[in-house]
Every structure is written in structure tokens, then in C-alpha cells.
Amino acid sequence: MEEVDVEPAITNIPAASDGKHLGFAWGPGDILTYETLYPYASSGVRGSGSLYIHEVRKDEDIYSPILRKLFNESHHIFVGLQIIREDLPSKNKKPQFVSISKNYRSVIRACMEELQQAAVSTKVADVATQYGNQVSILLAIELIWNLCEVLFIDAAPAGSLLLHLLDWVRLHKADVDEKAREVLQSESPAEHRDYWDVVVSYVLQGRLEEARQMLVKQATLHPAARNMFKLMDTLLSKMPFYNPGGTQTLTEFDVKWRHWHEEVDRCLQDNSFASNPHLELICKILVGDEDTLLEHKGLLSTWYHFLVTRLLFCHPTVKPTELHFYAQSCMTMFLDMSPEPLDSILLAAFEFDIHQVIKDCSIALNNWWFVAHLTDLLDHCKLLQSHNLHFGSNLREFLLLEYASGLFTHHSLWQLAVDYFDHCPEFGRVYLELQIERVPLETERKALKVLRICEQRQMSEQVRSICKIMAMRALRNNRLGSALSWSIRAKDAAFATLISEKFLQDYCAKGTFSDLDLIDNLGPSMLLSDRLTFLGKYREFHKLYGEKHFSEAAKLLLSLMTAKIAPRSFWMTLLTDALPLLEQKEVIFSADQTYELMFCLEELTSSLNTAAVDADRPMQVRRPITKSP
């Protein structure tokens, strides 16, 4: 057995006293624990037991109304991804995969914003803390997903790679925009205490146009230093950025960038900004001085921001294969303590170790949503083909099965899980068959939903099981029509026979049939059992009699006895029903039919006389058919 990568988290169960013996029961996604009367391990004294049963949930997120939207929306994206044609060339599918990845991220962003609003509006401290924790998790998820999109799905080459990484950092380091708004809305922006922090932050993110606009305000306040500000503006405006759609090659861009870099370095060596420490600081950043960058950890805040800034001003043509070297060195230089799980995940991504990213995320995150959907997308991009698990299923299917199994524990999200199982070709159907049987059938509406799912997938065993459960429930509630309908749907001949007997007993007691619409429209279903056939034909006899088709009614009544379709216990009732036909003014029964009728009466009388046990006493109709005028 393989060793676990990390020690399992300890769950404290409230009200469970130290030393008490706990019993537990496993559920599909939860565990129920309870104190028992088992003696103390040390003293041998019996425990008193507790009145409480504690529910330990494996995944709390599926019970969050806001996060439920994440599951619902991502389900639609997942289903859309599965129908992308396999025969399309990879080049044609790449834009679709990138678009799908962005759709996933937009759903994450929408949920994050809603959680932030909910955290602000709630007045309950614990709830606000819970929402805040969920926002932090979603922020980390979106950060990792975005990086995986850049490195694996879009697979940006040298030149374009840095542009994507800049967008990645800017998206996840948005506090500078809030600070900039605060500065610009003040009476004197250039004298605001955060003015230079905003300018430097813009430069660190490569947002040089915004930095130039901010510097104009400072230059206006210091006319004597106008030339110095103008020189800085020139350096910022001349910094080249690679244009993937342009005519310039990567080599030509590299030459142009080096010329610009040398010009900035000359200005620094010439002490062109020595009289203004803020501008000199910006100049040092532009030449990529590592010590200067590390002195501003507060503005960078993370090692991966430091990495992208360092690449921007030192290695703008970095290749994907070189990223891991710079990432490792930047993390080592920036962090003063051991890396957090998020740091390790991002480093694994920069090292292009997809499987390590998925593994670390599976350990660090509290549910399977992220790893299941990301792995599915990467698998469609043909990036996981070489990785199969030793117990059969591949990595994609394993994670999807785990995620879908968790959804099945929820009262409404279980319907989403069905589609995930459908797209797991190896074990999906087996999992679905096992999980669908655990769905509680509280109402007929829900039972019909489950039944439709099973029928669409030809899951005959589950169809029969559901129908039997619903038929038995209806029978217990004395709803014979519903019980018969479910038993017919289950094709359960024995149960249909039992319910048909109940209908006949009910008829004998009341003199009328209940649920006439159902019995009148049995159609071929009445052939499921002899007793059901008799019930349908006997009701047909009543209809013929009521419509005064006496000859057809007499013929049908006689055939029910001579063909042995009618139960022997019901023959006396049928013979009683024949009396009004015999009393009609016109002759209804022919001589042969009358003879057969008498033979049936004689056979019934003989069997009653010879019966040892009176267990098959004929049922009598309380109100026989009245004679037609």
C-alpha cells in the first residue's frame, strides 16, 4: 500500500468527550458518528452515551448556495467540451480549448464576486469568515487555472509568453488600481502619500503608459526638473514590447530591446536621475536591478510577480523551457520562509510538471471540482495521454468519478453528476448504476426523473428496482392505480397480479372500480399477467354491458371462465353477472353458450363440495349488475 503524501487532517467532533468510544456509519459522502455505551478503555466504566449524532461532511462546498452556481455553470461548459469533434486538427481545436478555459475562469470570477458581496452584506461574523475563506480558495484556483491556460493550453511561445504572464500578474494584482483611484481622486494627486507607490507599481507590472500619465502630474509640480522627467518619459515610451501579430521577428525585437536597455543603463551610469531618488529608483527597475526589486517586496507581494517583473526587464524573450530555472531562483530569493502549498503548485506549473500540479491541488484543495475540470480540459488537449493509473482508469476518469460521486450526495446536484458519469467510458456506467440506487425517492416527480435517466441508458435492473419501490409505497398508501401503473412499468408480473387481486377485492367490496382511466387504457400491458388480463377484460365486459352490447358482453363473460382466465374464486361473481343477461326479453346466450354456462356452474359446485379447506371461497359482489330495462 502506498504511503500518503500528507498526514490526514484531524476533525474535531463537538460534544464528543475525551476518552469516549465513538461509533460511526459510512455514507456515500458523509460519516455519521455517535457516542456508544462501550466501556472506557482505561477504567472499564460504561459510558453514558449521548443523544446527539454528528454528521461529518466530506465536502461542505456543495451545500453553499453561491458555490452551487459554480457547479451548475461549469457543468454546461463541461458538456460542451465533450462534443468537440475529435477528427478536427489540433490547430483548429486550440482556440476552442482556450475559449473554454476562459469560460471556466469567468464562472470562477462571477462566484468570487458574489461571495465578496455576500461577505460584506452579512452581519454574522462566522458566515463572513466562511465567505472570506471561500473567496481565498477561489482566488488561488483562478490563479492556478490562468497560469495553466497560459503555459499548457495556449502554449504561448517565446515573446508572446511574457505578454501572457504580464496579463496574468495584472489580473491577480489589482490592488494598484484601487490605490490609483484613491490617489487620483485626492485634491493633489502628486502630493498624495501613495503617489510614488502607484507609479512604481505600474512600472513593476509593465504598465508604462499609466506610469507616464502619473509622472506628468509630478513634472507639473517641479518645473525645474522638467528635463529629467522628460528623459524618463522618453525611456518609458521607447521601451519595446513584442507584437506577435506584427512583421517584426523575435530576433529583431531582441536587438531593439537590447539597444533600449543599454540606453537606460547609460542614463543610470551617468547619474542622470541622481537628484531625484524616485526617478533613479524607476531607472534601476528598468535595468532589472535585482537588489532594487527585492527591496520592494511590499509592492511586488509575491515571488511570481517578482519573477514576471524580472523577466520583463532582463529576459523578455524567455522560452517556455527556461521558465523553471528563473522560477526556482526567484522563489528562493524572494521567500524568507518555506513555501506554501500554492507556491509549490505554481512552481510545478512553471516546471511544466502537469501531474505534480494536479496531485498537489488534489491534496491542498477541499473538493474535486478544480482538478476534475482542469484535468478533463488538459486531457482533451492531449497533454495527459501518457499517464494511466495502476488500477485501470486513467487520471481524467478517476478525478471525474470522484467529483461526480460527491455531487450525488446532494439533493439536487446529483442530476449534474449523471453527465459526468456518462463521459467516463470505462467505469462511468458502473458508478452511475451504484449511485442512482442511493438517490432518495421522496416524491413521484423525483422518481420519474430518476426513472427517465435509467430508461435513456437502458439500465433495466435499476428501472425495475425504482418501479418496485414506488409501487410498494403506493400500495401501502392504498393508491391502487399508482401501484398498478408502477408495477406495469417495472414489468413485474407477480406484483401486477397482487395489485389486480386488490382491485378485484375492492370491486367486490364497493361494487365499482376505482381508477377507471387506468384500467380502460391498459392496452397490451394487460398481458403482463393472467390476473391483470382478467381485470382488463372484466372491465371491458362492464363497458359492453353499460353500452347495451349484450351479445358481445355475454360472449366475453363466458370466455373469461371457459378460457380459465378468471380466478376460480371469482366465478360465482361472473355467474351472478350472467343473470341479468339471462333475464333479458331477447335471447342473449345461445343454446351452446347456455350449456357452457351450466357446465361452469356444475364445475364450480363440484370443486366447492370436494374442497378440504375452505380457502378459495368465492367472492360475492355486494351490488351485482342491475338488469337493463
Lookup: cell for 123: 452581519
Query: Cβ contacts of residue 156 below 8 Å, gap of 6+?
Result: 150, 163, 164, 320
Average pLDDT over residues 242-254: 88
pLDDT in tens, 563-578: 777 776 776 776 777 7
Which among 294, 318, 342 is the end of a domain? 318
Question: Are residues 278 and 293 both part of a single domain?
Answer: yes
610 pLDDT exceeds 70?
no
Question: Are residues 115 and 230 both part of a single domain?
Answer: no
pTM score, whole prediction: 0.80
Higher pLDDT, 622 or 39: 39
Q: What does the DSSP 8-state code read for residue 30?
A: E
Q: Does residue 332 lie within any of the structural domains?
A: no
Q: What does the DSSP 8-state code read for residue 23?
A: E
Q: Does residue 339 lie within any of the structural domains?
A: no
Q: How far, CA to CA in Å, does 476 sit from each of 106, 190, 463, 487, 512?
A: 50, 81, 20, 14, 21
pLDDT at 305: 95
Q: Does residue 21 lie within any of the structural domains?
A: yes
Return the minimum-mean-pLDDT range out of 85-89, 181-185, 208-212.
85-89
Query: Cβ contacts of residue 507 below 8 Å, gap of 6+?
Result: 513, 621
pLDDT in tens, 341-358: 999 999 999 999 999 999
Q: Which of 44-48, 188-192, 454-458 has the highest mean pLDDT?
A: 454-458
Total residue count of the chain as it appears in this document:
629
pLDDT at 153: 93
Q: What is the rounded distance in angstroms from the CA atom of residue 198 to the CA atom of residue 32?
A: 53
Return the minimum-mean-pLDDT range out of 61-65, 117-121, 376-380.
61-65
* Matching residue, cell 458538456: 79
Higher pLDDT, 486 or 80: 80
Higher pLDDT, 96 or 14: 96
Q: How many domains is the chain partitioned into structurally?
A: 5
Question: Are residues 306 and 185 both part of a single domain?
Answer: yes
pLDDT at 234: 93
**How many other β-carbons are positioned within 10 Å of the β-carbon of residue 585?**
5
pLDDT at 167: 93
Q: What is the mean pLDDT of the chain?
A: 82
Summary count for the chain: helices (H), strands (E): 29, 3
Q: Does residue 289 lie within any of the structural domains?
A: yes
* Reported confidence tier of residue 612, pLDDT bands at 50, 70, 90: very low
- Phi and psi at 570, nearest 5°, equal -105, 0
Which among 468, 498, 529 is the end of a domain? 529
Q: Does residue 326 lie within any of the structural domains?
A: no
* Reported confidence tier of residue 616, pLDDT bands at 50, 70, 90: very low
Question: Are residues 430 and 500 both part of a single domain?
Answer: no
Query: Cβ contacts of residue 92 below 8 Å, gap of 6+?
Result: none
Lookup: cell for 629: 330495462
Question: Are residues 302 and 192 both part of a single domain?
Answer: yes
Q: Does residue 161 lie within any of the structural domains?
A: no
Question: Are residues 135 and 18 both part of a single domain?
Answer: no
Q: Do β-strands 30-35 and 53-57 pair in parallel, antiparallel, or remain unpaired?
A: antiparallel
Q: What does the DSSP 8-state code read for residue 273?
A: T
Question: Are residues 198 and 280 both part of a single domain?
Answer: yes
Q: What is the rounded distance in angstroms from the CA atom of residue 187 to the CA atom of residue 135?
A: 34
Which among 58, 73, 95 is the end of a domain? 58
Host domain of residue 200? 169-318
Q: What is the rounded distance in angstroms from the CA atom of residue 94 to the CA atom of residue 102?
A: 12
Contact 571, 565 (CB under 8 A): no
Question: Are residues 186 and 263 both part of a single domain?
Answer: yes
* Reported confidence tier of residue 163, pLDDT bands at 50, 70, 90: very high
Question: Are residues 306 and 190 both part of a single domain?
Answer: yes
Contacts 24+ apart (CB under 8 A), 474-477: 475/499, 475/502
Q: Where are the beta strands (DSSP E) in 498-605?
A: none
Q: Does residue 542 lie within any of the structural domains?
A: no
Question: Are residues 282 and 304 both part of a single domain?
Answer: yes
∠33-34-35 over CA atoms, to 5°? 140
Question: Are residues 559 and 613 both part of a single domain?
Answer: yes
pLDDT at 6: 55
Return the minimum-mean-pLDDT range out of 36-40, 254-258, 259-263, 444-448.
36-40
Nearest alpha-carbon partner for 488 in 513, 523, 439: 523
539 pLDDT exceeds 80?
no
Higher pLDDT, 15 or 110: 110
Q: What is the rounded distance in angstroms from the CA atom of residue 354 to the CA atom of residue 564?
A: 72
Nearest alpha-carbon partner for 135 in 64, 77, 205: 64
Q: Does residue 580 lie within any of the structural domains?
A: yes
pLDDT at 1: 37
Question: Are residues 173 and 279 both part of a single domain?
Answer: yes
Question: Dihedral through CA 471, CA 473, CA 474, CA 476, nearest 10?
Answer: 120
Collapsing DSSP to helix, strand or coil, 348 comes out as helix
Tell me the HSE value of 366 on the side-chain side, using a 13 A CA sphere.
14
Lookup: cell for 281: 529608483
Query: Cβ contacts of residue 15 below 8 Å, gap of 6+?
Result: 50, 52, 54
Question: Dihedral through CA 460, CA 461, CA 464, CA 469, nearest 10?
Answer: -140
